[in-house]
Structures are given as C-alpha cells and as structure tokens.
C-alpha cells in the first residue's frame, strides 16, 4: 500500500498531454486497491487556476477545460484523496520558505509532503512524492524524501519500483 503524493505540476499531467503524462497514466491505471494517491487541498485551487489561464490564453478551449475539470472531479471521488491545509501545515510551510527560499504555495506542498512522509514512515508504508517543479523538487530532496519528477527519463522505472517493492512486502 504505497502512498503517492502528487503536487500540482505532476497532477496536471494526468489531464493535459505533456511530457511526463505517461507516468501519471501508469500510476492511475496500475494503482492497487490499497494504494493511496494524495494531493493537497491547495492543488484543487491551483488546478482551477492553471486551467483558467490555459483557457484565457486560448491554449485550451472552454469545452476542453470543462472536460479536464470533470475528469479531475471524478478522480477526486474515486482515486485521489485530498489532504487539508491545516494550521500546523501552514506553520511548517513558513519554516520551509525561510530555509529554502521557495514560493509560498511550494512551501505548503513541501510541508504536506513532510507530514505525509512522516506518517507513512510510522505506518511502515512506502512513500513517493511526484513533482515536476524543479525548485520544489530540490527542496524535497534536501529534506531527504524520495522524489520522482515525471519528466525525468527514469520516472516510470522509479514508479514501477515503488509499486513493486510494496507488493513484495
């Protein structure tokens, strides 16, 4: 029962074809019944903002944005858990921003990742964060947490390994 955290830069690849989409496709298609896919509540807001910007720039049509958001809402009902942005997460995010100098939203994602990573470690569950944002990825790795960037050439292999290792336990 691995726990996978998807930041918005990775999550968007599930709904819009771009580099790394095949990694998200694999994750959703091969997700075991006990595997957990988790996003921050922040991602629900960020995804809405990303799709609106793409629509306004005419990179996506209104109908495509509607379809994309419908698929996301369907995934929220059946495949993805939303982790709340709580006061302790926000407090930890301040320290992360101070230590690493990353954006506020990225600090919230990293704080959420740290919280989930610690909970997974206590429960003996394999944890893998997926993020395509380079600055945030560096921060996650500096915190000593396993990270896979879906845009990296070895991302699919890392994901398969994480899924297989947990099955073997």
Nearest CA to 102 out of 130, 143, 49, 155 is that of 143
Quickly state the pLDDT bin for 161 (edges 50, 70, 90). Answer: confident
How many beta carbons lie within 10 A of that of residue 164, not counting itself?
Answer: 10
| 3 state SS of 148 | strand
Total domains present in the chain: 1
Q: Using CA atoms, how far apart are residues 125 and 46, in angstroms rounded to an integer?
A: 28
Whole domain around residue 104: which residue ranges?
A: 3-167
Tell the residue number behind the tokens 């369907």, with chain if given: 74
The rounded Cα 136 to chain-centroid distance in angstroms is: 11
Q: Give the pLDDT score at 94.
A: 97
Quickly state the pLDDT bin for 158 (edges 50, 70, 90). Answer: confident
Q: Give the pLDDT score at 168.
A: 53
Q: Give the pLDDT score at 6.
A: 97
Q: Is the pLDDT of residue 153 over 80?
A: yes
Q: Using CA atoms, how far apart are residues 5 and 147, in angstroms rounded to an integer?
A: 9
Each residue's pLDDT tens digit, 71-118: 999 999 999 999 999 999 999 999 999 999 999 999 999 999 999 999
Asked if 107 and 94 touch (Cβ cutoff 8 Å), the reply is yes
What CATH number has the domain bearing residue 99? 3.40.50.1010
């Amino acid at each position: 029962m691995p726990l996978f955290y998807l930041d918005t830069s990775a999550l968007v690849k599930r709904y819009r074809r771009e580099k790394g989409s095949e990694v998200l496709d694999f994750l959703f298609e091969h997700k075991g019944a006990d595997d957990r896919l988790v996003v921050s509540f922040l991602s629900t807001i960020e995804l809405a903002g990303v799709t609106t910007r793409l629509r306004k720039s005419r990179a996506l049509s209104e109908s495509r944005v509607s379809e994309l958001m419908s698929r996301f809402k369907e995934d929220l009902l059946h495949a993805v858990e939303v982790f709340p942005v709580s006061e302790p997460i926000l407090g930890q995010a301040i320290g992360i921003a101070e230590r690493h100098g990353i954006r506020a939203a990225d600090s919230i994602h990293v704080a959420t990742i740290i919280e989930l990573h610690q909970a997974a470690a206590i429960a003996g569950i394999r944890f893998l964060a997926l993020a395509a944002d380079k600055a945030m990825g560096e921060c996650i790795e500096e915190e000593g947490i396993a990270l896979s960037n879906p845009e990296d050439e070895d991302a699919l292999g890392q994901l398969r390994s994480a899924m297989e290792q947990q099955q073997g336990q």
